[in-house]
Amino acid sequence: MKPFLRQQLERYPLRLQELDFFLQQPEVAQDLERLRALTREHAEVREVAERFEAYRALEARLASAREMLADPDQTDLADLAREEIAQVDAEIPALEDALQQLLLPRDPDDARNLFLEIRAGTGGDESALFAGDLLRMYTRYADRQGWRCELVSESPGEVGGYKEVVVRIVGDGAYGKLRFESGGHRVQRVPATETQGRIHTSACTVAALPEPDEAQAVQINPADLRIDTFRASGAGGQHVNKTDSAVRITHLPTGIVAECQDDRSQHRNKAKALQVLAARIHEAERAERAAKEAAARKGLIGSGDRSDRIRTYNFPQGRITDHRINLTLYKLSLAMEGEIDELIEGLLLARKGEQMAELEARGGSGL
């Protein structure tokens, strides 16, 4: 094990003792917010401390077996010692890798639900159709994960698809899996309206926004909001022509806008629009921080800015390419049906590699 990793890990048993002490204090039990924070940290630190203790136990077994093998007075136990050494040597790498993964920084947003926004870009009607294809791809992927999708707002295209669509994806770890989908998605194919069989290039932008918790949502000052109601567009039956149930909310200090038209209840649409607005404000703040960090270091995965061209979908060749990790798969038809696990896992693995390199470069960061 690398020295800087061991140095990091040795801090965890000590921190666990501190947390055990804090959690026994009466004043902590009366402060629910602090209690939740300490309990959450305790669970994370205990997991690392227990794994590290198991690693130390393996090291002790290995040292004992080697001593036994080197002892001329215990030659009758040499075979047993060799067997023990082989077994421990096989177990240590996996446990060391698990410990390295546990040391990587965790984003608290990763466990959250998310709002996925898809907007048609260059390419006119073909871009809108592609936005519809992307929505289908993501909802199929969500279904495969056992997540639930809720349409928040939509602006249908002239010949199908969407000029813009926002969907809420509800599921444990949804944002963590889809966070790197933000950016520009390019499609190359022959549009259905093309009579000459020429390949056209169109583009859409995707934004994956973590759903803020209630504490973040209520931080928005009601005095900073302008709330407008209007009649919903698109499918919805006769009801949408009778009431102004759709809601549009503008955050005046930033100009950020969110709307919801999915529900017949104006009250529920307002609540959903506020959630989307909070997510967009949160994302704008995150993007500003990421831009400052990127000025000093440009990561492989990128900033998640929508102007980044992250992926190309080439239909004539049946090819899908993620440009950030140079991964090309010739299984486009399967990907469009939601089988994008290989892409998702490749991006997550690349991010872990970045984090590990950062951790090693600064020699680890303290608890």
CA 311 to chain centre: 17
Rounded to the nearest 10 degrees, what angle do helices 341-361 and 78-103 cross at?
90
Q: What is the pLDDT of residue 363?
A: 64
Q: In a structure prediction context, what are the per-residue pLDDT tens digits for the chain, which is 367 residues long? A: 888 888 889 999 999 999 999 999 999 889 888 998 899 889 989 999 999 999 999 999 999 999 888 888 777 788 888 999 999 999 999 998 889 888 887 777 888 899 999 999 988 889 999 999 999 999 999 999 999 999 988 999 998 999 999 999 999 999 999 999 999 999 999 987 676 778 889 999 999 998 887 655 556 788 888 998 887 765 444 444 446 788 999 999 888 998 888 777 888 888 888 888 888 888 887 777 666 655 544 454 554 455 568 999 999 999 999 999 999 999 999 999 999 999 999 999 998 888 888 777 766 554 5
Paired residues of 205 in beta bridges? 119, 184
Q: Which H/E stretch holds residue 7? A: helix 3-9
Beta strands 183-189 and 309-314, pairing class? parallel
Q: Report which DSSP code applies to 194.
A: -
CA 320 to chain centre: 20
Burial category of 310 from C-beta neighbours within 10 Å (exposed 0-12, middle 13-18, buried 19 and up): buried
Cα 164 to Cα 7: distance, rounded to the nearest angstrom: 50
Q: What is the pLDDT of residue 278?
A: 84
Q: Model confidence over 111-160: pLDDT tens digits?
A: 889 999 999 998 888 999 999 999 999 999 999 999 999 998 899 999 89
- Do 183 and 304 form a contact (C-beta atoms < 8 A)? yes
Q: What is the pLDDT of residue 337?
A: 96
- Do 16 and 53 form a contact (C-beta atoms < 8 A)? no
